[in-house]
Amino acid sequence: MQSVDIEALNQQIYIDSAFVEKLNEETAKVIVGQRHMIERLMLGLLTKGHVLLEGLPGLAKTLAINTLSKAVDAKFNRIQFTPDLLPADIIGTMIFNPSKNEFTVRKGPIFANFILADEINRAPAKVQSALLEAMQERQVTIGGETYPLQEPFLVLATQNPIEQEGTYPLPEAQVDRFMLKVKITYPTKEDEREIIRRNLQTGGFPEIKPVVKPEAILKARESVNKVYMDEKIEKYILDIVFSTRNPGDYNLSSLQALINYGGSPRASIALAKSAKAYAFLKRRGYVIPEDVRQVCHDVMRHRIGLTYEAEAENVTQEDIINKILDTVEVP
């Protein structure tokens, strides 16, 4: 009976996820390569999660989220974070209207479906907190009134990994609020050749057409929740997260001195949600271990704290996650 149910579910998910190919085709008109980044943006969109992007300037971070917002027919706002930015510059404020002799609300750029928080670590903690509160509560308070943010609501925050002067690094507790932390790398030589050609062609980039409505994304989120996850997969996720807390219990005693703190329950939730969404993107109605492994680095890399010993030995979170995935038993 269960296998019949899964087969029916698989067919339903295959139908519900039909828009994924349309989105991929439309974004590919402008974005060359960087499929990993686009895929992770979609994961965030499907799981109500937010994405922290770490990469050098010029790797199409702004272009990617702008292109995706056009393909989803949603509103996009870009906020450039600077040291003199104020919370009101993000969420909005009350302004006095002399003609009516009253205060009225002027909503800030946070009122959009897609928000690019460019170089989030350039602004002080007060501004970062205002954004993160909006991310968590999906509402903002202006002048004593609460205003819900429109769904779908996705924040893509970027930070530059090489320039640390004049920045305000995000505390670990705030970084943990991001479902995924994605590292962006350089394109391949073939991709970069295509990027040059597209930027030099007359007429500019092709026009991105809306292929999905925001309502379809909200419906897809319900389908993602229905994706089947076996108890063995749940145990696999728990083993991965718990091995970051108690490495000795999983034949990983060598990591004990390298890990300062491991993933919280939020890591387990994010890993399960992301694995389900990844299966949905692959147009499958059930989760397999490979789905968990594919999203594990992006979910866990900002949730493992390193000791001074690890930093002295140049051990990274990537090394620790690789070691865990190689050691923890796969169902």
pLDDT, tens only, 81-131:
888 888 888 888 888 888 878 888 888 899 988 888 888 888 888 888 788
Interstrand relation of 259-261 and 305-306 (parallel, antiparallel or unpaired): antiparallel
Residue 1 has pLDDT above 70, yes or no: no
Q: Could you report the per-residue pLDDT of 272-328, keeping only the tens digit for each?
A: 999 999 999 998 889 999 999 999 999 999 999 888 998 898 888 999 999 999 998
* Average pLDDT estimate for 165-170: 69
What residue spans in the chain does CATH classification 1.10.8.80 cover?
227-327
Cα separations (Å) of 328 from 24, 62, 108, 249?
Answer: 33, 37, 46, 10
What's residue 2's pLDDT? 47
Burial class (CB in 10 A: 0-12, 13-18, 19+), 153: buried
Q: How high does pLDDT run on average in the chain?
A: 86
How far apart are the C-alpha atoms of 42 and 45, rounded to whole Å? 5
CATH class for domain 19-203? alpha beta
Contact predicate 240/328, CB 8 Å: yes
> Kind and range of the H or E element at 162?
none
Sequence-separated (6 or more) residues with CB below 8 Å from residue 127? 81, 85, 86, 87, 89, 90
Q: What is the pLDDT of residue 4?
A: 46
Indicate the CATH number for domain 227-327: 1.10.8.80
Tell me the two tokens of residue 281: 């993107």
Tell me the β-bridge partners of 117: 79, 157
Q: Where in the chain is the domain with CATH 3.40.50.300?
A: 19-203
Q: Which residues contact 303 (CB under 8 A, 6 or more apart)?
A: 176, 244, 262, 263, 264, 266, 267
Global pTM? 0.86
